[in-house]
Amino acid sequence: MPEQQLKTLLRQLNETLDNTEHLDPATREMVIELDKDIDRLLDKEDDWWDYDGIKERATALEAKFRSEHPVASRFIREAMDILAKVGI
């Protein structure tokens, strides 16, 4: 269940950002990297576990979006909450 919630949140985040006019390339790249990190984390075949890196990237994005993109910030916070609930 948390996996599906995370995938849904990431999809919603990307859709929201796709409709955002003022998103600099560096921030967009941060979102892409976080998306890839979470996909790898959810891939049961992959032994990659960079929990601290994922938390750091998510926290940085949430802070960056807080004032300019509150909806995107909410998606990041929800994803962080889900990851915390499953011990990440």
The count of structural domains within the chain is: 1
Instruction: For residue 69, give every residue at least 6 positions away whose Cβ sits within 8 Å of its Cβ, in sequence order, or none.
Output: 16, 17, 20, 23
Question: For the chain, how many residues are written?
Answer: 88
Average pLDDT over the chain reads 83
- In the numeric block, which tokens belong to residue 60? 């940085």
Which of 18-22, 35-39, 41-45, 72-76 has the weakest average pLDDT?
41-45
Is the pLDDT at 71 greater than 60? The verdict is yes
Is the pLDDT at 48 greater than 70? The verdict is no
For range 46-69, the mean pLDDT: 82
Q: What is the pLDDT of residue 44?
A: 67
**What residues make up the domain containing 76?**
2-85
Residue position matching structure tokens 């790898």 = 40
Cβ pair 7, 79 in contact under 8 A: no
